[in-house]
Structure 1
Amino acid sequence: MGAGAIGEETARFSKAFGLRTIGLNRHGSSVKNIDKLVTVNDMHALLKEDDYFVSVLPATKETHRIIGEEAFKMMKKEAVFINIGRGQTLDEEALINALHNGEIAHAVLDVFTQEPLPEKHPFWEMEKVTVTPHISGVSKNYLPRTIDIFHKNLNAFRRGGSQLIKKIDVKQGY
């Protein structure tokens, strides 16, 4: 879920392992490395077919707790749910129940409703949950890339601001 830049890259890596990829985006428009694309209206197709369900959704009004009880009931019992997008897109209580009830096999969580994840949160003790640190964007190239984007945007801004890159769409929320 979420076929933007991160979703596309996730699909590319998945293809390297010979996986068939199904993606979800707002418009259902094609994305490189994704075999089949659906919109939110056809989300059930993703849920019923996927062995690995990766969410890279942004936190918006439309995505708030979009992955909840109904979604987990539709997933395969062998499914692994991975959330590397935003914690607000997940109903954490529904995930805990789904794991306890055997509705899905495992969850890998990089993001949470409350960050940092509270010390006493059940996820820390659950064998069917892998908690990862939310630092995937940090690499030796992170700061140089950030400075390069800032530099390009500063120059574009000085010229009138029409050629800004990596702009946030305030209406969409990301």
Structure 2
Amino acid sequence: MDIDAAIAHIPRLRRYARALMGDAARADDLVQDTLERACQKWAQWRPPDAASADQVQAALRGWLLTLMHNLFANQWRQAAHQRTVGWDETLASGHDPTPDMGLRLDLERALTLLAPQAREVLLLVGMEQYSYAETARMLDIPIGTVMSRLARAREQLRRLMEGETPPRASLKAVK
């Protein structure tokens, strides 16, 4: 098997990245970074022993999503260190671009308001249809953590979709 096998997974990687990032351009960058990392680390990937072609593809998809998760987590941590008080003026100031419309938050905006860890679990289990065990393996966390993050994410998403205002994040200045 060669790196060309990863090409079949690009649509799924893009879908997951778009939901994770909430922005098409940043999502495409994340997919590209993931594929670059896969090319660099290709020698480290081992397909399961005595596996069918479908099982090999599923394992490859899981490996690629794990790479994507790790890249996303690293980028998120870097951004957290670089944020300043004026970081996101629309969220920090409580600015609502649709004050008179009274519309509920749409799903895409609600997803972007979830914590990245909650959004990852929700997307892997809900959108990508991975089991709790597969999700735990990809994110390198215990199954119990997957279940608790998923429950909290679903509850927060439900409240956001019902129009509840998200809690304001306390921002601290970084020197």
TM-score by length of 2: 0.25
Greater strand proportion: 1
Which structure has the higher relative contact order (CA within 8 Å, separation 6+)?
Answer: 2
Greater helix proportion: 2
